[in-house]
């Protein structure tokens, strides 16, 4: 197993180098004037100052020199200056990341729980009505564009019924959170509210997060449901399951103790795909619900063609995805001995 993990770790720097090259190539679509935002907060108006700036940061130098200078900055955590955010890109990421993490965590728990239970249920009752219903649900869910789904939720539960609000906090709650008495431990409103003992703020934050969390997660439910179902069906036909039945075990024990642990292995492998869907999904979800996190900011910057900002965000997301995939592979090797041998 260690050889497998070490081999994966050795491939990591090559992959990161490739990612940086691709981002750097996209940067070359910008003129040297625009690329100056990589190093300074505002671009001078006077012609001569601009030339001096370009010379100072070597924006007219050969490409490899520019690349080395840029990568040096990126490694130090400096991704340039965001026009839309009016602050350094890395600062914007650090500021907005907790909000997005909070949304992802609140949608992640139901994803795994609902997806797996429905998938198992569907497989155990193959071709019965419950199987048909969950399968239709999964395939319609899989085809539903996130932005249409989110807008329909808003139409029904916000505009029509008024049950759930949009945004991240109500005004009064936002004032509480920003006051000095309230300590921001994590930047995640629901967690901070509990740590500060403000149950009213917690409830308010939770009400704001319900609809976006559902919107963000239903795609993943559909995916996990399908994978769990087909893997469970395959497992239930294996000889050892028949043996367990022949031993006279109850059907519940057969399913829960014998079939389920093995059937859930492939579900781990789609962890990476799930992460992709979440990273893609937050952009649209946060935009629709006006939930101010990384995704919302990314969409806003993209709409205003603030290329420096979105390239910084994309680089950050790619690194998250690479590390996430690595974690999934290592986890899979740990729980499934068959992978280690190959």
Partner 1 sequence: MKLARQFVRNPTSLLGLLLLLMFIVVALFAPLIAPPKPNQRDPYLIPKDGFAVEPKPPNAKHPFGTTEGQYDLFYGVVWGTRTAFKVGVIITFCTVAIGLSVGSIAAYRGGWVDEIIMRVVEVFMAFPFLLAALTMSAVLQARLGRGIITGMIALILFGWTTYARLIRADILTVKERDFVLAARAMGAGDLRILLRHIIPNAIFPTMVAASMDIGSYVLSFAALSFLGLGAEIGYADWGQLISFARNWIPALAKHWHIVVFPGMAILLFVLAWNLIGDALRDILDPRLRGARG
Taking the CA atoms of residue 184, residue 188, residue 191 and residue 194 in that order, the dihedral angle to the nearest 10 degrees is 50
The reply to whether 127 sits near partner 1 by the rule CB under 8 A is yes
Task: Judge whether 213 and 110 are in contact, CB under 8 Å.
Answer: yes
Q: Identify which range of 11-19, 37-45, 50-58, 254-262 contacts partner 1 by CB under 8 A.
A: 11-19
Number of residues that bind partner 1 (CB under 8 A): 52
Bridge partners of 87?
82
**Cα(38)–Cα(306) distance, rounded to whole angstroms?**
12
Q: Identify which range of 44-52, 207-215, 255-263, 317-325 contacts partner 1 by CB under 8 A.
A: 317-325
**Cα(244)–Cα(253) distance, rounded to whole angstroms?**
9
Nearer to partner 1, 21 or 331 (CB): 21
Task: Judge whether 62 and 44 are in contact, CB under 8 Å.
Answer: no
Q: Could you count the other beta carbons within 10 Å of the beta carbon of residue 35? A: 20
φ, ψ for residue 307 (rounded to 5)?
-65, -40
Task: Judge whether 221 and 117 are in contact, CB under 8 Å.
Answer: no
User: Reduced to 3 states, what is the DSSP secondary structure of residue 82?
Assistant: strand
**Cα(153)–Cα(145) distance, rounded to whole angstroms?**
12
Task: Judge whether 192 and 119 are in contact, CB under 8 Å.
Answer: no
The reply to whether 6 sits near partner 1 by the rule CB under 8 A is no
Task: Judge whether 51 and 33 are in contact, CB under 8 Å.
Answer: no
**Cα(187)–Cα(189) distance, rounded to whole angstroms?**
6
- Tell me which of 1, 63, 203, 303 binds partner 1, using CB under 8 A: 303
Task: Judge whether 187 and 99 are in contact, CB under 8 Å.
Answer: yes
- Tell me which of 321, 330, 336, 339 binds partner 1, using CB under 8 A: 321
Task: Judge whether 274 and 224 are in contact, CB under 8 Å.
Answer: yes
The reply to whether 133 sits near partner 1 by the rule CB under 8 A is no
- Tell me which of 5, 174, 206, 302 binds partner 1, using CB under 8 A: 302
Nearer to partner 1, 162 or 197 (CB): 162
The reply to whether 194 sits near partner 1 by the rule CB under 8 A is no
| Least separation in angstroms between CB 131 and partner 1 | 10
Nearer to partner 1, 253 or 300 (CB): 300
The reply to whether 72 sits near partner 1 by the rule CB under 8 A is no
- Tell me which of 233, 249, 265, 339 binds partner 1, using CB under 8 A: 233
Q: Identify which range of 1-9, 48-56, 101-109, 156-164 contacts partner 1 by CB under 8 A.
A: 156-164
**Cα(324)–Cα(229) distance, rounded to whole angstroms?**
24
Nearer to partner 1, 35 or 198 (CB): 35
The reply to whether 230 sits near partner 1 by the rule CB under 8 A is yes
Nearer to partner 1, 91 or 300 (CB): 300
The reply to whether 154 sits near partner 1 by the rule CB under 8 A is yes
Point out which residues bind partner 1 (CB under 8 A): 14-15, 18-19, 21-22, 26, 29-30, 126-127, 139-140, 142-148, 151-152, 154-155, 158-160, 166, 230, 233-234, 276, 279-280, 283-284, 287-288, 298-299, 302-303, 305, 307, 310-311, 313-314, 317-318, 321-322
């Amino acid at each position: 197993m260690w050889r497998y993990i070490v081999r994966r770790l050795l491939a990591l720097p090559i992959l990161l180098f490739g990612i940086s090259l691709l981002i750097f190539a996209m940067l070359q679509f910008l003129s040297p004037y625009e690329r100056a935002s990589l190093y300074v907060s505002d671009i001078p108006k006077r012609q001569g100052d601009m030339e001096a700036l370009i010379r100072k940061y070597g924006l007219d130098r050969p490409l490899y020199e520019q690349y080395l200078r840029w990568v040096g900055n990126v490694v130090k955590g400096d991704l340039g200056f965001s026009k839309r955010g009016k602050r350094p890109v890395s600062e914007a990421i650090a500021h907005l990341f907790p909000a997005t993490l909070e949304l992802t965590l609140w949608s992640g728990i139901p994803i795994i729980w609902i997806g797996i239970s429905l998938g198992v249920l569907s497989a155990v009752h193959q071709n019965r009505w419950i199987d048909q219903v969950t399968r239709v649900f999964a395939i319609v869910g899989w085809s539903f564009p996130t932005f249409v789904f989110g807008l329909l939720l808003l139409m029904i539960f916000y505009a029509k019924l008024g049950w759930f609000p949009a945004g991240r906090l109500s005004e009064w709650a936002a004032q509480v959170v920003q006051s000095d008495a309230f300590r921001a431990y994590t930047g995640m409103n629901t967690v901070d509210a509990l740590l500060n003992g403000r149950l009213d703020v917690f409830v308010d934050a939770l009400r704001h997060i319900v609809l976006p969390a559902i919107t963000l997660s239903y795609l993943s439910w559909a995916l996990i449901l399908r994978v769990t179902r087909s893997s469970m069906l395959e497992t239930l036909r294996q000889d050892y399951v028949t043996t367990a039945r022949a031993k006279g075990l109850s059907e519940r024990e057969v399913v829960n103790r014998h079939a389920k642990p093995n059937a859930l292995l492939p579900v781990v492998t789609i962890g990476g795909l799930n992460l992709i869907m979440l990273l893609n999904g937050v952009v649209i979800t946060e935009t629709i619900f006006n939930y101010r996190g990384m995704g919302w900011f990314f969409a806003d910057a993209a709409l205003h063609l603030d290329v420096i900002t979105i390239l910084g965000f994309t680089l950050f997301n790619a690194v998250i995805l690479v590390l996430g995939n690595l974690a999934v592979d290592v986890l899979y090797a740990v729980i499934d001995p068959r992978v280690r041998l190959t």
